[in-house]
Amino acid sequence: MIEQQLKRQHASDEIDLRELFAVIWQGKWIIIAFTIVCAVASVFYSLRLPNIYKSEALLAPAGDSSSLKVPGQLGGLAALAGVNLGGGSDKTSLALEVIRSREFIGRFVENHNLLVPIMAATGWERDSNSLIINTDLYDPVNMQWIRKVSAPLQSKPSLLESYDRFMKFFSISQDKSSGMIRLSVEHYSPFLAQEWVSLLVKDINEEMRTRELVEAQKSINYLNQQIAQTNIADIQTMLFSLIEEQTKTIMLANVRDEYVFKTVDRAIVAEKKSKPSRALICIMAVMLGGFLSMLLVLVRHYFK
């Protein structure tokens, strides 16, 4: 009894599969035509996409050569004074967060006048080495933003908009095992991508150096006040050691150009595009077109 039921079920499955393949075969011209249309459309679409070039720099954390060990009761005093007692990894982590911050990127865009190439560029002309500007957004003749947006947005993009857009081009990551850092920028122009990578490395080093100088000077001022308020020789000696440490920090900040990130491999102008992958786009479109056309043929048959 069970064997007969299994035989019937097996026969039913065979009939269903035969019917399925028969339906697909009957609709083969629809499938072929739809797939060809998708293939042709994907070719035209991929050819219209602008090339994007990637420039990348390999960086290494600049080691913190000043590392003073403060014993016992003056550890809290050193922390209160803002004295850096050796935290190279913390300095690197802080720099990575600063370079991703809205404030730093916004200031970077503003200081280097990058709003137009970030927000209005749609491509790059190799022969003239010039950007293709979307004239619906920006008038290059009168140098005015003319895009039409609704409130609260304005014709000229805000720094927050430029930040969101720039972060689509920008990437930075750290290898946890080696500690090496890769900073990359993608853009329509390979020359701008390389220039922006170099400027980012320079600006983040300058930003962290400025912060360290300000903090070190504040720490020295505080420690001098503490020295004036105490007559205990041992504490004064320790405070002078802390001042020496901060003086060393100021000296290193002033003499070292690459303060927080050392360049291991500088960014170069890319010769080949990084994307789009036009072949992959066409292959995916053909596969998707074939699948959708078969689904359409089957649905059309079973609805009948």
**Domains in the chain, CATH or no CATH each:** 2-47+280-303 (no CATH), 50-275 (3.30.1890)
Is the link from the previous residue into 71 a cis peptide, with omega within 30 of 0? no
Q: Which residue did the predictor score with more confidence, 46 or 1? A: 46
Query: What is the rounded CA–CA span in Å between residue 196 and residue 57?
Result: 11
b/e per residue 192-206 (b: at least 16 CB within 10 A): bbbbbbbbbbebbbe
Per-residue model confidence (pLDDT) at position 176:
84
The closest of 153, 144, 152 to 116, measured between CA atoms, is 144
Report residue 168 CA to chain centroid gap. Answer: 6
Q: What is the pLDDT of residues 75-86, one digit of tens each?
A: 444 444 444 544
Please compute the mean of the pLDDT values over residues 247-272 and round it to a whole number.
Answer: 82
Please compute the mean of the pLDDT values over residues 198-217 and round it to a whole number.
Answer: 88
Element (H, E) at 216: helix 190-229
Please compute the mean of the pLDDT values over residues 136-149 and round it to a whole number.
Answer: 87
Share of the chain above pLDDT 70, in %: 85
Q: Which of 73-77, 226-230, 259-263 has the lowest mean pLDDT?
A: 73-77
Q: Is 138:120 a contact under the CB 8 Å cutoff?
A: yes
Per-residue model confidence (pLDDT) at position 76:
47
- Beta-carbon neighbour count of residue 67 at 10 Å? 12
Q: Which residue did the predictor score with more confidence, 272 or 223? A: 272
Longest Cα–Cα distance of the chain, Å, equals 106
The closest of 108, 106, 104 to 162, measured between CA atoms, is 106
Q: Which residue did the predictor score with more confidence, 7 or 121? A: 121
Per-residue model confidence (pLDDT) at position 8:
54
Q: How confident is the model at residue 296 (pLDDT cuts 50, 70, 90)?
A: confident
